[in-house]
Amino acid sequence: MLIPSIDLMGGTIVQLVQGEQKALEFDNLDYWIERFSKYPIVQLIDLDAARGAGDNRSLVKLIVGQLNARLAVAFATLKPHRNF
């Protein structure tokens, strides 16, 4: 089973090449939320949190509140995120 993923960085949705260089960057969240709404499971990854360079917590909350799917929200921290 393939699980689609939304990667967040710097307040936008991104696609990285080799995990480093931005290949694509989008700030139209409504378009992507609608596009991913057809999937029953979506993985949401906060790349800033994973890199220890801040977080996109408000963006995660916005997407979680609008996307009607089971979500796997990934953070790179040992602290629990219970507010989602």
Over residues 45-84, the pLDDT tens digits come to: 889 988 889 999 899 889 988 887 666 666 555 455 555 5
Supply the pTM of this predicted model: 0.80
User: What region, left, alpha or beta, does residue 54 occupy, with left being phi > 0 and alpha being psi -120 to 50 degrees?
Assistant: left
Q: 28 to each of 18, 54, 77, how far by Cα in Å?
A: 24, 21, 27
Judged by DSSP in three states, 45 sits in: strand
| pLDDT(18) > 70 | yes
Write the CB contacts of 37 (distance below 8 Å, at least 6 apart in sequence).
Answer: 67, 68, 69
Q: Which two tokens stand for residue 82?
A: 């219970």
Residue 14: other Cβ atoms inside 10 A: 17
